[in-house]
Amino acid sequence: MNEINGISGSKTDSIRLLRETNAGIQMGVTTIDEIIKSIGDEGLRTVMSRAKAEHEKLGGEAHRLLHFYGSDTKEPHPVAKFMSSVKTNVKLAAEPDDKTAAELITDGCNMGIKNLNKYLNEYGKASPLVSALTRRVIRSEEKLCDDVKQYL
């Protein structure tokens, strides 16, 4: 186990997990930005704004840790980003209502939760600090799913 300025864990696994976590956060913020414009209900808009602010805060923490490790960020995969955007815009064009927005957010959160748990397992030697950040992002996604259930 490597020791880097008091943060134990594999530097390689830590960087990889951070990069994937950061890419997931970016996807979340982008999706929220696309969806929030079509939301009519003030309560749902507030939920989404809070979730976006939380994601941005977590993204800032991921950026600071990536900088600490001397790594750059990772953009979400272009195909995944494109497909997500197309799905969001097509569904909202066909059914521009709050239920559709809640469904899209739920789908996105579930995908994020699945992927981040996969990366936690794949990069199991990441530092406890990095793993804890990823778990906080997962909890944030779970909370957002719970918060939008009433709009489904």
CATH number of the domain that 147 lies in? 1.20.1260.10
| Domain count along the chain | 1
Residue 123 · residue 16 · CB < 8 Å: yes
Residue 2, pLDDT score: 41
Mean pLDDT score of the chain: 91
Residue 29 · residue 57 · CB < 8 Å: no
Query: How large is the average pLDDT for residues 94-105?
Result: 93
38-87 residue pLDDT tens: 999 999 999 999 999 999 999 999 999 999 999 988 777 777 777 888 88
φ, ψ at 58 (rounded to 5°) = -65, -35
Which domain, by its residues, includes 138? 3-151
